[in-house]
Amino acid sequence: MRHLVSIKDLSSRELEVLVDKAEEYKRIFKSQDATEVQRNHLKLLGRTVALIFSKRSTRTRISTEGAAAFFGAQPMFLGKDDIQLGVNESFYDTTKVVSSMVSCIFARVNDHEEILNLVEHSNAPIINSLCNMYHPLQAICDMLTIKETLNYTRNKLKVAWIGDANNVINDMAIACLKLGMDVAISTPPGIEMSPIIVKAAEDITKQNGSKLLLTHDSVQACKDAHILVTDTFVSMGEEYAKEAKLRQFKGFQINQELAQHADSNYKFMHCLPRHTEEVTDEVFYSDHSIVFEEAENRLYAAMAAIDVFVINKGNFEI
Ligand code: CP
Ligand code: NVA
């Protein structure tokens, strides 16, 4: 059994397989050929998948429930007020009970430690659906979106992140580097990438020659970039620090003035939900923006994850 905790745990080949599978499921899902659709779905008919979510979600919930339905499984959304967890029952007991009855657990939690605890005690694959450190389903989706828009397999791409050092860029940076892209990350002074991510990133750059730039200079990060990307400045669970963070991020908005330093054909990405402080309407709704294609691709990333980690029990080569 394999779990999906972070892109960091996957080889480049395994990541490529997940992206290719997501691409293939997109084709099948949109196919008008009923026999092809039938051949590929209902592989989990009569089964259930659990979504243990202790935080809000639009895309992750809809995409994982949709992917479960595609394979014939019944998704069960278990929000923090739905089950006994944390109030009347321990994390350990809950994990043992839930994992004894379902095909997999999608888990959206606060601390990364909670994902590791689930992995330790679960009898079913755990698919990290966001924790404070990682968001691997988002990264798989983002790699598919970049592949179909700018084709990183044929073109040398530079991805520039302007924003927080958070869960989304942690997995996205590792994914981009593993697939041979260059990554530039601009964060405000005082906000630095986790040393765990920097070490993992540097190991990859040494192996495959892709480049990582960490800076506080957004113009330098954006220079000739093919992809500009950001996320909220205030992640879920950080609402208490909202005012201080917004002050810290002054000058880190992606706007047309900044975007003019990027490649003339640049694309703008954002995992969503989005706020105007991190990107202006002019960029977010421009022809450069691929945010809604990106959001749709969450569905195919979830299908690929279920295929590999649940149906094929962690075997990437089937
Ligand atoms: N991008 C993302 O994970 O969105 P949700 O929080 O709506 O699931
Ligand atoms: N960094 C954000 C991502 C939301 C999809 C958060 O953790 O809230």
pLDDT, one tens digit per residue, over 126-136 is 999 999 999 99
Same domain membership, residue 58 and residue 163 = no
Q: Is the pLDDT of residue 33 over 90?
A: no
Rounded distance from Cα 231 to ligand 2 centre (Å): 7
In the chain, pLDDT over 70 holds for what percent of residues?
100
DSSP, collapsed to helix, strand or coil, labels residue 290 as coil
| Predicted pLDDT of residue 265 | 97
Whether residue 318 lies inside any domain: the answer is no
Which of 57, 135, 168, 292 for a ligand 1 pocket mutation test, highest count of atoms within 8 Å of Cβ?
57
Q: Is the pLDDT of residue 47 over 90?
A: yes
Amino acid at 84: Q
Q: Is the pLDDT of residue 276 over 90?
A: yes
| Predicted pLDDT of residue 31 | 86
Q: Give CA 93 to chain center in angstroms.
A: 28
Same domain membership, residue 149 and residue 285 = yes
256-278 average pLDDT score: 98
Pocket of ligand 1 (CB under 6 A): 57-60, 130, 138, 271-272
Read off the CATH number of the domain in which 240 is found.
Answer: 3.40.50.1370
Quickly count: other Cβ atoms within 10 Å of residue 240's Cβ: 9
C-alpha 52/C-alpha 97 separation (Å) is 13
Whether residue 2 lies inside any domain: the answer is no
Same domain membership, residue 190 and residue 88 = no
Pocket of ligand 2 (CB under 6 A): 130, 166-168, 231-232, 235-236, 271
Amino acid at 59: R
Rounded distance from Cα 271 to ligand 2 centre (Å): 8
Ligand 2 atom with the smallest distance to the CA of 234 is 8
Q: Is the pLDDT of residue 38 over 90?
A: no
153-168 average pLDDT score: 95
Nearest to 74 by CA among 82, 83, 65: 65
ipTM, 2 decimals?
Answer: 0.99
61-81 average pLDDT score: 96
| Predicted pLDDT of residue 245 | 97
Same domain membership, residue 59 and residue 22 = yes
C-alpha 289/C-alpha 279 separation (Å) is 11
Same domain membership, residue 284 and residue 163 = yes
Whether residue 165 lies inside any domain: the answer is yes
C-alpha 124/C-alpha 294 separation (Å) is 29
What domain range includes position 230? 136-295
32-44 average pLDDT score: 78
Whether residue 21 lies inside any domain: the answer is yes
Ligand 2 atom with the smallest distance to the CA of 167 is 1
Which positions ≥6 away from 283 have C-beta within 8 Å? Answer: 228, 254, 255, 256, 259, 268, 289
Tens of pLDDT, residue by residue over 286-300, are 999 999 999 999 999
Whether residue 79 lies inside any domain: the answer is yes
Active-site amino acid positions: 271
Write phi, then psi, for 299 (nearest 5 degrees).
-60, -45
Same domain membership, residue 263 and residue 148 = yes
Question: What average pLDDT does the chain have?
Answer: 96
C-alpha 105/C-alpha 118 separation (Å) is 9
Same domain membership, residue 197 and residue 254 = yes
Query: Considering the entire predicted model, what is its pTM?
Result: 0.97
Quickly count: other Cβ atoms within 10 Å of residue 92's Cβ: 12
In the chain, pLDDT over 90 holds for what percent of residues?
93
Ligand 1 atom with the smallest distance to the CA of 129 is 3
Count of domains in the chain? 2
Rounded distance from Cα 283 to ligand 1 centre (Å): 20
Rounded distance from Cα 267 to ligand 2 centre (Å): 21
| Predicted pLDDT of residue 37 | 72
pLDDT band at 242 (very low <50, low <70, confident <90, very high): very high
Whether residue 92 lies inside any domain: the answer is yes
Same domain membership, residue 284 and residue 177 = yes
Whether residue 24 lies inside any domain: the answer is yes
Tens of pLDDT, residue by residue over 165-211, are 999 999 999 999 999 999 999 999 999 999 999 999 999 999 999 99
Whether residue 277 lies inside any domain: the answer is yes
